[in-house]
Amino acid sequence: MVKLTYYEQDLLNGRYGKDKQKAMEFIVEYAVALGAERLIEIKSVTGGLGSSKNILEDLKQNNYDIEKIFCEYKLNSSEKVKVTKVCVPTATLINLLDPHKIDELHISDDVKKYCDVNEEYVKKLGMQCLYTCAPYLSGFIPMYGEHLAWMESSAVVMANSVFGARTNTESLESTGAASLVGRVPYWGLHIKENRYATHHINIKTKIDSEFDYGLLGYCIGEIVQEKIPVITGLEKRPSFEDLKHFGAALAASGGVELYHIVGVTPEADTLEEALGYKHPNNYTEIKEKNLEDIYKKINSSSKDKKIDFIIIGCPHASLIQVSEIVDKIKNKKINRNVKMWILIPYSIKGLCDRQGYTEVIQSFGAELLTDICPAIAGLVPNNVKNIATNSIKQAYYLTNLMNCKCWYGTLNNCISGAISGKWEGVFNEN
């Protein structure tokens, strides 16, 4: 039995409209399935209509009646009802195209049509078209202790761990209903007692770059799977960008939604606090050899050192990361056989232009792209043979989802590879 407030009961009874009623029915059913005793008010949602093959196909078959598809997919309703505005800030995630590169990306007419119809519709509902997996770089900045309904694994782990907000990894379906009623089941990581670490991971090797954090995250994700690690032993404080790579890697290899780093993340002033004053289920030390093994494993898809495509910006790059790239490529030229994409949120494109970063990137011969993810949208250019990236998550997805050959290394490896056309990365060059 799910206990509802008077307001929630009114939503369920249809007092605020049929769409909210259907959304509430969905959320209550979801709560019953999870065994949640009540619902919790949320402050923001990430997740738009989605762009799965099924949605695209259904939309086409239904003559682009997007409201019908929204009701079906987001409200679990075969009846089409008038959908009104969202009641909490709601952001879309990755899109299927960069609006400025439609021809270059060879976007099909069907996909373009879907993106146009979808964008017009979600804007009418009051959603924000951020089209990024890093919504926290575009104004969706959660506050400590706030409850959210977010999806996209790398964003969820940042929201929980770095910002100290509370969210489970929601689905495309639940985020639609949640955005209309501002509620999700009070369950999982919304509850303080479920946020304590289960695994103590003690670091016994030097970790001081985004590259190291990618390897470390991947390694810990494999160990803890979906549990909660607390990390000790780091000699140097990680940067925000390090944590972007770390969380994305943890979520890729393991499905981690929350981690703690003692003295760094907000629920871990001490090891004891992070553990909830209990003994961990498991204690593991991470040594250099563990990271080297991950490096070899992630780089096992390719033997050919000739590279022709480089992807930077997974999760989408911050302005600071773009400025670092620009410093490294200024007055240099990309190899004519290599393509390089730098992925950013649309919201920082204007700043990149203003700072002169876009110009430097273009004269180097690389491209700044917004809104997309090559691995998720399957947007790798035709005839590409060997990819390189500084993101372990992108490398994992490209090799496992798209069957590509891909090298993982440092930003320096990627840039020198872009210039020479050859991969020269090694494990311990730092």
Instruction: Please name which of 368, 340, 364 lies closest in space to residue 354, comparing C-alpha atoms.
Output: 368
Give, as ranges, the residues between 371 and 390 that touch ligand F3S (CB under 6 A): 373, 375-376
Q: How far is residue 103 CA from its own chain's centroid?
A: 26
Pick between residue 27 and residue 317 the one whose CB is nearest to ligand F3S: 317
Least gap, CB of 136 to ligand F3S (angstroms): 12
- Can you tell me the distance from the alpha carbon of 111 to that of 252, in angstroms, rounded to the nearest whole number? 27
| 173 neighbors 253 (Cβ within 8 angstroms) | no
Q: Tell me, residue by residue from 330 to 349, as one string, x for binding to ligand F3S by CB under 6 A and - for no binding.
A: -------------x------
Q: How far is the CB of 30 from ligand F3S (least distance, A)?
A: 24
Q: How many residues form the binding site for ligand F3S (CB under 6 A)?
A: 14
The answer to whether 314 contacts ligand F3S (rule: CB under 6 A) is yes
**CA dist., res. 5 & res. 8, Å (int):** 5
Single residue of 46, 77, 154, 410 touching ligand F3S by CB under 6 A: 154
150 touches ligand F3S (CB under 6 A): no
Q: Whole-number minimum distance, CB 376 to ligand F3S, in Å?
A: 5
Distance CA 126, CA 97 (A): 21
Mask for 228-257, x = binds ligand F3S (CB under 6 A): --------------------x---------
Distance separating alpha carbons of residues 282 and 261, to the nearest angstrom: 16
Is 94 among the residues that bind ligand F3S (CB under 6 A)?
yes
Under rule CB under 6 A, which residues in 179-238 are in contact with ligand F3S? none
CA distances from 239 to 322, 340, 423 (A): 15, 25, 27
Query: Considering the complex, what minimum distance in angstroms separates the CB of residue 317 from ligand F3S?
Result: 9
Tell the smallest beta-carbon distance from residue 293 to ligand F3S (Å). 23
Strand 199-203 with 229-232, pairing: parallel
Q: Could you tell me the two tokens for 395?
A: 């490398």
**3-class secondary-structure state, position 295:** helix
Instruction: Write 106-113 long-range contacts (CB < 8 A, 24+).
Output: 106/382, 110/56, 110/60, 111/56, 113/64
- List the x/- string, 391-410, binding to ligand F3S by CB under 6 A: --xx--x-------------
Residue 386 CB, nearest distance to ligand F3S (Å)? 18
In this chain, which stretch among 99-107, 197-205, 234-242, 311-319 interacts with ligand F3S, using CB under 6 A?
A: 311-319
Chain residues in the site for ligand F3S (CB under 6 A): 94, 133, 154, 248, 314-316, 343, 373, 375-376, 393-394, 397
